[in-house]
Structure 1
């Protein structure tokens, strides 16, 4: 098992904990990570784009000039794609880009990223993360004390309004519940700040 130093919100070492090799010690599979990130981004697409074909553009019912004898190319409508104001040849229409990847693939990708984070010393484990009030400055001081990167993902076990609301006004800092973490967010943020309770929940789910 891998070991990591656990600290408190003042940045002082508290204890050393062991992390499960089934989650934090797997062989990193970059291709699987790519597939899952691609899936996440596709599922976030709105797919509301829409353009008009020549059949949907207003006007153009009359043939602009006779077929022969003018010396110009034959034209059937001023709303053909080559005309200014004409329709689009292969017009984009609203569609659903979402699809699913197998559960085993998603889990392997998550474990691969967590393993990579641990190897790169980008995981900060807190014994607990509690706040008595909603105060952005206090949370910013906590991040400074634990030496978190400017881009930080804070993972907590349960809903804590004080933490979520204190962190949301800090640029490049995001809070997430352990059940909602995903590969894309783990890659996007440099520091992963996670509580001991959240790690226990992760190991309970994935082991």
Structure 2
């Protein structure tokens, strides 16, 4: 169990929140998180790349020249892989890159990855009502007041999609905005700092409590 200070819009401490998730043991933590990360990255691949073999390339039905007497190397088709415009040898074909992982293991890996970033975690109060209109500058200033380094990679987690917050954050190069429902291992590990609203933290603990 970890106690986290909750900051308000002005950057002042306004309360505390508890982070208590069931995580993997030290011996297996890195292994299960790595498996979840590999699974996520593999499943993100489309696997639609495709090349044509010599059997699929159009043309090549006629022998380019006679077998002997020309002084040139023998050739049976102008669609050989050796020729320009010919087929591809052992080229990629559409395939399924997806990797399976049990649901309990996925959830355990996610909880473990999240808990491991507690030192880089900044908990703030919900701030959607602070925007009367989309304002990127105000959000950047707020991140600075909360103690986040705007030059580094920041993962901003909110409880649910809020249009004004989304429009304010989308133009900040180093900030990635996600909802609690879209929490994933890759984003947790890549970010230098994680800024999360207290309602989002409650939602994560409620959904991933076991």
* TM-score over 0.5 (shorter chain): yes
Gapped regions of structure 2 (runs ≥ 5): none
How many residues of Structure 1 are paired with residues of Structure 2 in the alignment? Answer: 204
Residues 30 and 137 of structure 1, relative CA distance in 2, 3 Å threshold:
same
Q: Please, which moves more after superposition, 80-89 or 170-179?
A: 80-89
Alignment partner, residue 132 of structure 1? 131
Q: Which of 171, 177, 180 is matched with 1:178 structurally?
A: 180
Q: TM (normalized to structure 2)?
A: 0.87
How do residues 57-136 of structure 1 correspond to structure 2 at under 5 angstroms? Answer: 57-68=57-68, 72-118=72-118, 121-130=119-128, 131-133=130-132, 134-136=134-136
Task: Give 3-state SS (helix, strand or coil) of 1:29's partner.
Answer: helix
Alignment partner, residue 43 of structure 1? 43
Alignment partner, residue 4 of structure 2? 4
Alignment partner, residue 163 of structure 1? 165
Query: Take 1:128 and 1:70, find their aligned partners in 2: how far apart are those partners?
Result: 81
Q: What RMSD in Å do the two structures reach over aligned CA positions?
A: 2.0
Gapped regions of structure 1 (runs ≥ 5): none
Task: Note if contact 1:2-1:21 (Cα within 8 Å) is conserved in structure 2.
Answer: no
Query: Take 2:171 and 2:140, find their aligned partners in 1: how far apart are those partners?
Result: 10
Tell me which stretches of 4 or more aligned residues in structure 1 moved more than 6 Å.
none
Task: Give 3-state SS (helix, strand or coil) of 2:98's partner.
Answer: coil
Query: Take 1:204 and 1:59, find their aligned partners in 2: how far apart are those partners?
Result: 62
Q: Which of 193, 196, 203 is matched with 2:195 structurally?
A: 193
User: Is 1:152 aligned with 2:151?
Assistant: no
Task: Give 3-state SS (helix, strand or coil) of 1:100's partner.
Answer: coil
Query: Take 1:9 and 1:163, find their aligned partners in 2: how far apart are those partners?
Result: 13
Task: Note if contact 1:155-1:178 (Cα within 8 Å) is conserved in structure 2.
Answer: yes
Q: TM (normalized to structure 1)?
A: 0.88
Task: Give 3-state SS (helix, strand or coil) of 2:189's partner.
Answer: helix
Task: Note if contact 2:54-2:86 (Cα within 8 Å) is conserved in structure 1.
Answer: yes
Query: Take 1:109 and 1:22, find their aligned partners in 2: how far apart are those partners?
Result: 10
Cα offset, 1:51, TM superposition: 1.4
Q: Please, which moves more after superposition, 190-199 or 40-49?
A: 40-49
